[in-house]
Amino acid sequence: MPRIALFSIECAQLGDALTEIIERHRDEITVVVTSDVQSTARGGPIKQAAKNLRRSGPGFVKYLIYSFMLYPAVLAVDRAISPLRGGRRTRRSVRELCDAHGITHIRTGNVNSPEMVEALEAEELDFIVIYWFDQIIRQRVIALPSRGVINVHAALLPNCRGLFPTLFSAVEAGTPFGISAHVIDSEEIDAGPILAQRIAKPPPGRSVLFNDSWVNRVGVGMLDEVLSDFDALRGRARPQGEGSYYSFPDRRQLGLARRLGLRMAPLRDLVAVVRGTGAKDADALPPIRDLGAGEGMAPG
């Protein structure tokens, strides 16, 4: 049985996906590392909000607030009122899921610190799985697991590398929604050999927040296949070619999204994401180029 460290972020978009991953792999995951996105080393929430407001505008700031600040508050309220509902919960936090299964949970603003490296070394890992993690891991962390580091990215790589991939999948001409698993073998962002990909087209008319959650949840089944058949997939993994990279969106890019009818985060979609979007493994399809030959792809 492999020993896995899961790196991710506690946010609205990943509630569905992380719940599924932890439940399915609870006997294999030894530690979950979540990023402290409000770390004072990054300027703290007030400075971050001011910077994002100048660069991207109020709609994007609202999206970030819903994702990273309001979502934990919703979880706290859900936990507080659960006794009134016979203990029923809508969504559990990552820490609660880890506690339920005896998994170590660490929240950090610097996954590459000597203390984190020492803690991860003690886990004697076979894999590190990264599922939407906002810190670049350095070579010492990359070298820790005996079998490899797998990154799951919510776009069809090599297109839309970097941050907010479903947003840029929507606005980049000719790019379908999708999700990819690739090997991390260097510090270059989202650039390692591709193990598997799926087309993951969310329901029309929804927001970036909803699309984030839907696409990431659809990718859980692909991750299962990659972990179960890693050696074979690694042997035929294909290098990435030329693609595109995006960081934080600017006002021009978000204006294009609005003209396409794409909203960032309406309240109804926050509610839908917390309750569950209804996305399933079966909603993912192999890219057309892989349907025949199966190049670098587990069968869908």
Pick from 14, 63, 4, 69: which is nearest to 36 by CA? 69
- Residue 298 domain flag: no
- Residue 89 domain flag: yes
Q: Residue 185: what pLDDT?
A: 94
C-alpha R_g of the chain: 18
CA distances in angstroms from 232 to 97, 203, 285, 296, listed in the order given: 31, 33, 20, 9
Instruction: For residue 18, give its domain range.
Output: 4-290
- Residue 247 domain flag: yes
- Residue 54 domain flag: yes
Grouping H, G, I as helix, E, B as strand and the rest as coil, residue 246 is strand
Q: Classify each residue of 155-165 as buried b or exposed e, where b means 16 or more C-beta atoms within 10 Å of its C-beta.
A: bbbbbbbebbb
Q: Residue 48: what pLDDT?
A: 85
- CB neighbourhood size of 244 (10 A): 15
Grouping H, G, I as helix, E, B as strand and the rest as coil, residue 293 is coil
The rounded distance, in Å, linking the Cα atoms of 251 and 257 is: 10
- Residue 86 domain flag: yes
Q: How many domains does the chain have?
A: 1
- Residue 300 domain flag: no
Point out the residues of the chain with pLDDT beneath 70. 40-43, 288-300
- Residue 194 domain flag: yes
The rounded distance, in Å, linking the Cα atoms of 54 and 50 is: 6
- Residue 295 domain flag: no
The rounded distance, in Å, linking the Cα atoms of 287 and 289 is: 6
Tell me, what CATH number does 64's domain have? 3.40.50.170
